[in-house]
């Protein structure tokens, strides 16, 4: 397996660990250019099929990196990014270095958390009032937030939040208090995730 599957980009010391990785690989390691490093595993193809199992493995590798040595910032790549050679990957790290550095600074010591609020089947709710209440309780704690699609008519709110690790407990408590105050709503609270929603770095062709 000579190709390199990329999970994300880190700064500083490389990481290496055993894992159930994408495509059946069992080792995750770093390919570096100067201080930037791509967290990779070996893979047989540059066009991996996205299965539920491998998508989960992709996310679990990123979580491991985020917790490595007490916590590491990582710029996550979307599923499926793979390169035919180390040289091609290092060229990308070189060319996109300023963008990666900015993104790493933006997400340092921060995690992504997801909040979905679902109304009970027969409940009549004021979506604007709920949105305002959530904004007043969660936005002051979060560093950033972005809206996501309301893909169901019962989904009242769907947002991703970028939260400082040190503020995580406060954010957890604010979410719990909101749920306690609203019997006709269900809060689906998820994470922490690598900060997919808060980085946007294009890294070129998979060659």
pLDDT tens per residue across span 5-48: 999 999 988 999 999 999 999 999 999 988 899 999 999 988 89
* Region of poorest pLDDT, from 61-65, 156-160, 201-205: 201-205
In words, the CATH class of domain 110-193 is alpha beta
| Burial degree of 98 (CB within 10 A; 0-12, 13-18, 19+) | exposed
Average pLDDT over residues 168-183: 94
Rounded to two decimals, the pTM is 0.84
Instruction: List C-alpha distances in Å: 30 to 83, 163, 168, 172.
Output: 14, 26, 28, 33
Question: Residue 157 in contact with residue 130, Cβ under 8 Å?
Answer: yes
> Is residue 174 predicted with pLDDT exceeding 70?
yes
> Is residue 82 predicted with pLDDT exceeding 50?
yes
Confidence of residue 199 (pLDDT cuts 50, 70, 90): confident
Average pLDDT, the chain: 91
Q: What is the SS3 assignment for 133?
A: helix
Going from N- to C-terminal start, the domains of the chain cover 3-107, 110-193
pLDDT of residue 206: 44
């Amino acid at each position: 397996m000579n190709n390199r599957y990329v999970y994300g980009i880190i700064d500083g010391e490389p990481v290496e660990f055993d894992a159930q990785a994408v495509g059946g690989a069992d080792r995750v390691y770093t390919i570096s250019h100067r201080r930037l490093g791509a967290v990779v595993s070996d893979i047989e193809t540059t066009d991996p099929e996205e299965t539920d199992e491998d998508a989960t493995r992709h996310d679990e590798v990123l979580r491991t990196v985020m917790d490595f040595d007490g916590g590491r910032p990582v710029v996550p790549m979307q599923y499926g990014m793979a390169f035919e050679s180390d040289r091609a990957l290092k060229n990308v790290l070189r060319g996109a270095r300023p963008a990666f550095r900015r993104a790493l600074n933006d997400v340092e010591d921060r995690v992504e958390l997801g909040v979905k609020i679902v109304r009970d089947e027969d409940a009549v709710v004021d979506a604007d009032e709920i949105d305002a209440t959530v904004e007043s309780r969660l936005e002051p704690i979060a560093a950033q937030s972005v809206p996501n699609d309301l893909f169901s008519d019962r989904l009242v709110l769907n947002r991703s939040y970028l939260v400082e690790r040190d503020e995580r407990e406060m954010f957890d408590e604010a979410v719990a208090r909101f749920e306690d105050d609203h019997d006709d709503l269900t809060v689906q609270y998820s994470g922490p995730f690598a900060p997919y929603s808060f980085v946007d770095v294009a890294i070129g062709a998979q060659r």
